[in-house]
């Protein structure tokens, strides 16, 4: 039995493409998806999905991103 997986992402803002088996793979992409609630300016019950490369994420939302070191990056190496 095969398991489906994402093989390629394309940034919805700039068009940058990334494949899971090339370069950094999909590590430098954000996939965001949520259902807007009732009374949302996006529309009641609207599904929202976007794929962004980290460059576009930083360029568009940078001033509001709360950045800190991830736990895995602080873990002892070795």
pTM, to two decimals: 0.81
- pLDDT value for 4: 84
- Judge contact between 46 and 7, C-beta under 8 A: no
Round to whole Å and give the CA distance between 52 and 11: 5
Across 39-48, b (16+ Cβ under 10 Å) vs e yields eeeeeeeeee
Mean pLDDT by 10 residues, the chain (78 residues): 90 96 92 95 96 97 95 88
């Amino acid at each position: 039995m095969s398991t489906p997986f994402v093989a390629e992402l394309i940034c919805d803002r700039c068009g940058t493409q990334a494949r899971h088996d090339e370069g950094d793979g999909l590590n430098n992409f954000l996939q965001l998806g949520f259902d807007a609630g009732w009374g949302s300016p996006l529309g009641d019950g609207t599904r929202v999905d976007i794929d962004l490369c980290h460059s576009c994420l930083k360029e568009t939302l940078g001033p509001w991103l709360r950045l800190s070191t991830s736990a895995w990056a602080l873990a002892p190496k070795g």
